[in-house]
Amino acid sequence: DVTSVEYSSKMAVIVAIATECRNMDDKLIIVSHSILCLDYLEALFEKLQFKTVRIDGSTFPSERQPIIERFGNDDTQDIMLLSSRAGSLGVNITSANRMILCDSDWNPQHDEQSVGRVYRYGQIKDVFIYRFYTYTTMEHKLLYQSIHKRGLASRVVDNEKLLPQDKREMKKYYAIPEEPTTENDNDNSNLLSTIPLEERDTLLRNITQQKEQSNVTTI
């Protein structure tokens, strides 16, 4: 069953965010580098009776602007599914103010360009970006690698000394991670508790409260 998202925390949260966006009349863009992921999301939201539009590499350039205009002008259109490569440059989608980055790219500029489709001149709402990655997986390492690359780019601009990467450093991104210790988990929990993630985002607060209530009910 395509709607059985309980086996994927990432998909479960995506559906929760999409549902809250529809309740709040906020349009949502979901960005992925994987066509298979977009295919699954398209089938999932069709089953859940969300109205979606889609732009990927197979969409002719002449068709993209009409799709964007239809998405912006039609209040019944809830979600845009966007391939990061197809929608990273020359696209203005300020009708949406919430974006989910399902995965990360080896080139962090692609992710930044995707965010720039909604966070730009003409946007009149607060913009919220949700980046998903799975802890202690390749996604986790890829995210920190992209942060490292952005730091390198800044150093190039600032004429700072660069540290070379060797094969040993690259191998660690493909190594099987060790099991996180309880001590580390507690440290992470304490760190997250000091960050007001939900202070301005009522959507995130609602989802968090629903998750907490679900946990209580399950117990």
How far is residue 52's CA from residue 31's CA, in Å, rounded to a whole number? 13
Question: Pairing between strand 79-83 and 28-32?
Answer: parallel
Token pair in block for residue 199? 């202070």
Residue by residue, pLDDT tens for the chain (219 residues) are: 777 887 788 899 999 999 999 999 999 999 999 999 999 999 999 999 999 999 998 999 899 999 999 999 999 999 999 998 886 667 889 999 999 999 887 777 888 888 999 998 889 999 999 988 887 777 877 777 777 776 766 666 655 555 555 566 666 666 655 655 444 444 444 444 444 555 568 888 888 777 666 654 544
- Taking the model in full, what pTM does it have? 0.74
Q: What end-to-end distance do the CA atoms of the chain give, in Å?
A: 26
Nearest by Cα to 108 from 84, 130, 81, 129? 84
The C-alpha angle 55, 2, 80, rounded to 5 degrees, equals 20
- Collapse the DSSP code of 175 into the 3-class scheme (helix H, G, I; strand E, B; otherwise coil) and give the result: coil
Class of domain 9-132: alpha beta
Spacing of C-alpha 199 from chain mean position: 19
Q: What is the number of other CB atoms lying within 10 angstroms of the CB of residue 155?
A: 13
Where exactly does CATH 3.40.50.300 map onto the chain?
9-132
Phi/psi of residue 83, each to 5°? -75, 130
Please report, to the nearest 10 degrees, the dihedral formed by the alpha carbons of residues 140, 142, 147, 151 taken in order: 140
